[in-house]
Amino acid sequence: MSAPTIPAAQHAPSSSGGPEQPEPPPHHAAPPNVPTKEFFDTKGLDYETIYGHNAGLLKAVDKFAARLRPGCRVLDLGCGTGRPVAHTLAARGFHVHGVDFSETMVGLSRTAVPSGTFECAHLLDWVPPAPATDETDQELFGGIVATSSFYELAREQMETLVSRWRGWLAPGGAALLMMVAAEDVVPGTRPEMYDADGRFARGIPFRFMGDDCFLYLFTRAGWRALLEEKGGLVVREQWAGAFVPAGQADCDAEMNSFFIVEKEEG
């Protein structure tokens, strides 16, 4: 595959005279050239065929489930088709509440996980249901999962979303994040793609389900800092593992980074 050209808009000079950086997208505008809601509406089950058997993700869900209070509520942000994450958690007795902006994905999740509840919303618009009683802990989630679901968000949007997790998690609750780190993308990043703090890179070329996309990703250190500094969460486990989609999938191979974090008790 020949490397695609980064759109000119991403090279607009910054007003500060510092390194060239794109303007952050407005509140709900996704960064340019990432898979959109319409993309996922169209792909649906094709996504599950290619990515639904990621052994590294299944292992991560096992580790995460072992940390959760039995039977607790788990919020799945960007739940996709419901397989493998929501389905695996539901099979272990957790109540999964999934959120996804694709009607197609929400429909597939409802079929795959009949015991779960699923709603169609943009992750930045989603708010937890108001507590029915004063016992607000009952309404909090024991766990949050976000696996490969930040690709359509700008840096500032990822920071906003993660800063809300602490308020959604019960004390002692855990979250699982799986994403790719900027430095792990093949064929690689260039120095000018990075923000001044070196924690985030923009416009990284990537082949995804037959499309040439541009990814907007934190580095591994950046993901960790996002969870600790914006999320106020404690990193309990961090590791990385390769995932190679089947040859006919027309996707680049991935190095997935995993983080399991906790909200401390009290």
Cα 153 to Cα 60: distance, rounded to the nearest angstrom: 23
Minimum Å distance from CB 192 to ligand SAM?
26
Candidate list 10, 22, 51, 251; residue touching ligand SAM; CB under 6 A: 51
Specify the DSSP class assigned to residue 247: G
From residue 225, how far is each of 64, 138, 163, 198 by CA, in Å?
20, 29, 12, 12
Q: Residue number with the shortest CB distance to ligand SAM? A: 80
Contacts of 232 (CB under 8 A, 6+ apart): 163, 166, 263
Nearer to ligand SAM, 85 or 175 (CB): 85
Nearer to ligand SAM, 37 or 172 (CB): 37
Candidate list 88, 148, 189, 256; residue touching ligand SAM; CB under 6 A: 148
Which amino acid belongs to residue 140? L
Candidate list 53, 63, 122, 236; residue touching ligand SAM; CB under 6 A: 122
Convert residues 85-104 into a mask of x (bound to ligand SAM by CB under 6 A) and - (unbound). Answer: x--------------xxx--
Minimum Å distance from CB 22 to ligand SAM?
18
Candidate list 10, 31, 72, 78; residue touching ligand SAM; CB under 6 A: 78
Cα 79 to Cα 51: distance, rounded to the nearest angstrom: 13
Nearer to ligand SAM, 45 or 133 (CB): 45
Question: Dihedral, CA atoms, 24, 28, 33, 34, nearest 10 degrees?
Answer: 110
Nearer to ligand SAM, 50 or 233 (CB): 50
Given a contact cutoff of 8 angstroms between Cβ atoms, the answer to whether 53 and 84 are in contact is yes
Nearer to ligand SAM, 147 or 189 (CB): 147
- State yes or no: residue 245 binds ligand SAM (CB under 6 A): no
Nearer to ligand SAM, 85 or 261 (CB): 85
Cα 40 to Cα 47: distance, rounded to the nearest angstrom: 8
Backbone angles phi, psi at 157, to 5 degrees: -70, -40
Backbone angles phi, psi at 41, to 5 degrees: -60, -35
Residues that bind ligand SAM (CB under 6 A): 37, 40, 51, 78-80, 85, 100-102, 105, 122-123, 147-149, 152-153
